[in-house]
Structures are given as structure tokens and as C-alpha cells.
Amino acid sequence: MVRLWTSRIVVAWIVLFLVWDGAMKLLKVNMAVEGTVRVGYPARLVAAIGLVELTCVAVYALPRTSIAGAILLTGYLGGATATQVRLEDPWFLLPVVIGALAWGALWLRDPEVVRVHGVRL
């Protein structure tokens, strides 16, 4: 029971953070536009990036599709990591940690999740 509640809390924090981030991009809040342009993406893509992020989060947040959502978030966060590494930004670990937490939360809910990927703990 503790694992289940820990999983729910971690998922809630991840979803809240990524929904906030995606909404800022979708709404083209100045801070989000400036940050996206600073890392090398054109301002015209900010809303599209936000929509992709929110879609990935929505798929992850639904229990029936959470594994597919985690796979999508892994790809999205991998792109964020690559962008940060390319810029030599020390914050490149943040998307890695978020991705690890996303998968860890699914594992806490159901340890069989890792068997789908061939890892045995």
C-alpha cells in the first residue's frame, strides 16, 4: 500500500510540473518563449512543443496508458537532455531525473513494468 501511494505522489508531482511547463509553452508565456529561443528553437515552435509535452503527459497520467506515456515522455525528455548537453548547461540532469522518476513511479505501482523491458530486479 505504501508503494502505491508513493507512486501516486511521485506521478502527481511529475504531472503537475510538466503540465505547468507545457501550459506555459502552449500559452506562449514570455518566460517560456524566451527560454525556448535561448536554447535554439524558433519562437514559432513554442506552442507546438507545449502541445506535444501536454499530450505526452496526458497519456502518462492515465493508468491504462501510463507505460506508453512513459515511453513518450522518455523521448520528449531525451530531446530536452540533448538540447541541454549541446549547450553545456549544467541543468541537463533535470530531464534525466524526471524521466527516471516517471519510470520509478510506474515500477512502484507495478514491479512487472520492468519485465516488459527485459530487466529483472
Burial class (CB in 10 A: 0-12, 13-18, 19+), 70: buried
User: Which pLDDT tens digit goes with each residue over 63-88?
Assistant: 999 999 999 999 999 999 999 999 99
Tell me what pLDDT residue 110 has.
87
Tell me what pLDDT residue 121 has.
56
Residue identified by cell 530487466 is: 119
Instruction: Pick the closest to residue 101 from 2, 9, 24, 25 (CA basis).
Output: 9
Q: Is the residue at 29 inside a domain? A: yes
Tell me what pLDDT residue 112 has.
80
- Count how many domains the chain has: 1
Distance CA 80, CA 94 (A): 9
Tell me what pLDDT residue 97 has.
97
Tell me what pLDDT residue 44 has.
97
Q: Is the residue at 84 inside a domain? A: yes
13 is in which domain, residue-wise? 2-116
Q: Is the residue at 121 inside a domain? A: no
Listed as ranges, residues in the chain with pLDDT below 70 are 116-121
